[in-house]
Every structure is written in C-alpha cells, then in structure tokens.
C-alpha cells in the first residue's frame, strides 16, 4: 500500500502540465473603458469689440523743474511736499533786502539822469536861440545837441537798470508756474541758492494725464485695417494697473508719432486720460488696451475650458462621443470669456467640467455644464 502511494505521487510529478489541464477555461473579453461624464458648453459667436494690449507709461501733460533765477539766501520754504499747489502760489522766498536796495539805487540813478537830460535840453535850446540872433555859433549848438542826446540815452539806461532791479526783486519770490502736485524740496532754509543751484523742486500737472505706449508696426496696421480709418479717431483706450485692477475712466488717442523707431520697429502712440481722482501718477507703468468702436462676431468660450502646455492653449471638444483636442489662437478677453481668433468655428461642444485626467480620444458622456457665476 505504501509503494502505491509513492508511485502515484511520482506519476503526478512527472506528468506533463497539459495533462492536468486538458480543457482550460477561455479568457474573459477585455471590457471597454467607461465613458467619463463631462460638462460642456456650446462655443458661441458674440459681438466682440476688437482690442489690443500694450505696456505704456503715464506722463504728466505739464512738468516744471523749479529753479532760482537770482542768487540769495533762502529765507523760507512756503509749501508742503507732496501737496497740490495752484499756479501763482508762493513756493520759496529769498532774502529781499539787497534787491530792495538795488531798486532804490537804480531809482536814484534814474532821477540823476533825468535831471542831467533836462539841463542838456535847456542848454541846447539856449544855443539855438543865440544862433538865431547871430550871437552864437553853429559848433556850440551842435555840441549842445550831442550832449542832450547823451543825457537822454543815460535816462533810457537808468530806466532799464531800474526795471532789471525790480525784476530781480520779484524773483526773490519763487512762484508756482503751473498747478499740480509738488515734489520734495532739494534745499532748506538758510542755504544760498541761485541759477547754478539746480532744480529746487518739481511740479507735475494732474488732470488730465498722458499715457504713452510703443505699438509695433504690425499691431498698429492691424488696428487701422480693422477700423478702416485713422486709429486716433476710432479707438478707445482703457488701462489696467500692475495689480490687475482696471482704471475706471476711458481715454482717447490724441497723437501718433510721425516716424517709426528703427531700433524697435514701433510707433509711439499717446492717449489723453482723465485723472479726476489722482490715481494716475507721472512715470507709472500700466497695461494699455486699445479698443475699437466697431464690434465683430467672434467665437467666445469660458476661460474654465482653457488648458495650456508648451505648444500653447487648447480645449477638449466632444466629437462622436470622444474628447478631441483643438489648438487655439486667442485674442484677448470679453468679460469672463476668452475670444478665439482661430481653432473653433462656433457650435462645438467645449468641455468645461471633468477635465481632470481627461485624455485625447477618451470616451465621454457630455451634459450641459452648470452656469458659472457671471456666465450666462
């Protein structure tokens, strides 16, 4: 009995594998992947106003560097740095006594010259009377005429010196030449200032302001072609600050440079922007949106549908129950939507929900996406 068990075990070990599984079960068919549920919207065409965005810089329409026009000791600084000043407001006062003395001195010189001129006139008249009575000579008369002319010339010079002295006295009060915001002062009370002292302070106007932006030739010509007329007469300018916030007041282009910068192939475009709240600051960098007045039909899609990789932006659309990639060229924004320049014709089902892990060609089951806040 023991030998039979050993023989049976040995037979099992030596038996071919096929003998133990003579009729194997057939393999189960591979199951098709389940369709992913996604939310989709229809790519629609809407009237969109064409816009281009550039980097620009804010410039004051008027900027004045205040300088001293006469030399003297600074007695007082009459403004607060950073305040608004009006045209004609006093800014600095220089020591006035030396200039007042100069005015008095020139007044005395004028009086002296006028006295000498009066005497010279009397001498000339006397010489002419003597010449008529044969008691005088023509030579004496001519000499008296010359002396009179010299004296009158001295009067003119004395009057000019008096005017100059009064002007210099006036310059001891340095006034604001324009209205605007005033900067910090570079000098303080007690210093000697003069024409060689450099800029004492600066004033920049506030409302309105300029915004200057270099626009590439290609973009500039595109705007002109879109509007079929001059850019300056047809487009609106809007601004965005560096933090993304929008400036509430639109402006208008008022100047396009007459030549192209050869180094950058750009045209300098300048717009006038209202600045009633003083939010625009001279020298500030802003994003400038140049927007046409004529709306055009463009395909728009929600920004939530956009995906980007190294090749650029794209979306998934539903075709024959599958997710298909469409590469896009975008052209700005319209509210919460993105404007499509090319890649969609309108009417496509664009996937906006369920994009996580979605692969090209994957089966999808599309349903209308829930409206996002701010999207109808």
Three-state SS sequence of 250-318: CEEEEEECCCCECCCCEEEEEEEECCCCCCCCCCCEEEEEEEEEEEEEEEEEEHHHCEEECCEEEEEEE
**Same domain, yes or no: 155 and 213:** no
pLDDT at 183 over 70: yes
What pLDDT, on the 0 to 100 scale, is given for residue 364? 82
**Same domain, yes or no: 195 and 267:** no
Most confident stretch, 61-65, 225-229, 251-255, 356-360:
61-65
Domain of 191: which CATH number?
A: 2.40.50.100
**Same domain, yes or no: 323 and 364:** yes
Nearest by Cα to 237 from 280, 274, 285, 204: 274
**Same domain, yes or no: 145 and 197:** no
Spatial strand order of the sheet with 72-77 comes to 173-175, 90-94, 72-77, 192-193
Q: How much of the chain exceeds pLDDT 70, in percent?
A: 84
Give residue-wise pLDDT tens across range 84-129: 999 999 999 999 999 999 999 999 999 999 898 898 888 888 887 8
**Same domain, yes or no: 276 and 334:** yes
**Same domain, yes or no: 325 and 215:** yes
pTM of the model: 0.60
- 226 assigned to some structural domain: yes
**Same domain, yes or no: 347 and 264:** yes
**Same domain, yes or no: 238 and 338:** yes
pLDDT at 14 over 60: no
Give residue-wise pLDDT tens across range 190-205: 899 999 989 999 999 9
pLDDT at 238 over 70: yes
| Higher-scoring residue by pLDDT: 249, 30 | 249
- 249 assigned to some structural domain: yes
- 191 assigned to some structural domain: yes
Domain of 108: which CATH number?
A: 1.10.287
What is residue 319's DSSP assignment? E
**Same domain, yes or no: 76 and 111:** no
Alpha helices in the chain (DSSP H): 2-14, 17-20, 97-132, 138-171, 217-227, 231-234
What pLDDT, on the 0 to 100 scale, is given for residue 221? 72
Nearest by Cα to 110 from 154, 77, 66: 154
**Same domain, yes or no: 327 and 221:** yes
**Same domain, yes or no: 288 and 300:** yes
| Higher-scoring residue by pLDDT: 274, 357 | 274
d(C-alpha 267, C-alpha 129), whole Å = 78
Q: Please give the residue range of the domain that contains residue 102.
A: 96-171
**Same domain, yes or no: 111 and 254:** no
The domain total for the chain is: 3
Using an 8 Å Cβ cutoff, are 330 and 338 in contact? yes
């Amino acid at each position: 009995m023991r030998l039979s068990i050993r023989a049976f075990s040995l037979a099992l070990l030596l038996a071919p594998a096929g003998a133990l599984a003579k009729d194997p079960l057939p393999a189960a068919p591979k199951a098709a992947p389940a369709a992913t549920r996604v939310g989709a919207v229809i790519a629609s065409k809407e009237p969109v106003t064409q816009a281009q965005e550039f980097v620009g810089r804010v410039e004051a329409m008027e900027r004045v560097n205040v300088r001293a026009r006469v030399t003297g000791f600074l007695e007082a600084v009459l403004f607060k740095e950073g305040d608004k000043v009006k045209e004609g407001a006093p800014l600095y006062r220089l020591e006035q006594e030396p200039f007042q003395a100069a005015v008095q001195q020139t007044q005395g010189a004028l009086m002296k010259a006028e006295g000498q001129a009066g005497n010279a006139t009397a001498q000339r008249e006397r010489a002419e009377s003597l010449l008529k009575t044969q008691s005088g000579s023509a030579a004496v008369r001519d000499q008296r005429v010359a002396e009179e002319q010299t004296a009158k010339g001295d009067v003119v010079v004395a009057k000019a010196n008096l005017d100059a002295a009064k002007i210099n006295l006036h310059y001891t009060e340095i006034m604001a030449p324009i209205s605007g915001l005033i900067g910090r002062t570079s000098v303080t009370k007690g210093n000697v200032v003069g024409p060689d002292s450099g800029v004492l302070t600066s004033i920049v106007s506030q409302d309105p302001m300029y915004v200057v932006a270099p626009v590439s030739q290609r973009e500039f010509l595109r705007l002109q072609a879109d509007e079929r007329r001059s850019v300056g007469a047809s487009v609106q300018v809007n601004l965005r600050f560096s933090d993304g916030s929008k400036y509430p007041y639109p402006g208008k282009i008022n100047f396009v440079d007459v030549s192209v910068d050869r180094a950058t192939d750009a045209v300098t475009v300048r717009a006038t922007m209202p600045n009633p709240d003083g939010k625009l600051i001279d020298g500030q960098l802003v994003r400038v949106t140049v927007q046409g007045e004529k709306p055009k039909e463009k395909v728009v899609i929600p920004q939530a549908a956009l995906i980007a990789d190294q090749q650029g932006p794209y979306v998934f659309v539903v075709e024959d129950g599958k997710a298909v990639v469409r590469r896009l060229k975008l052209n700005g924004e319209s509210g919460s939507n993105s404007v499509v320049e090319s890649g969609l014709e309108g009417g496509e089902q664009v996937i906006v929900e369920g994009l996580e892990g979605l692969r090209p060609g994957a089966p999808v089951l599309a349903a209308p996406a829930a409206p996002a806040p701010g999207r109808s």
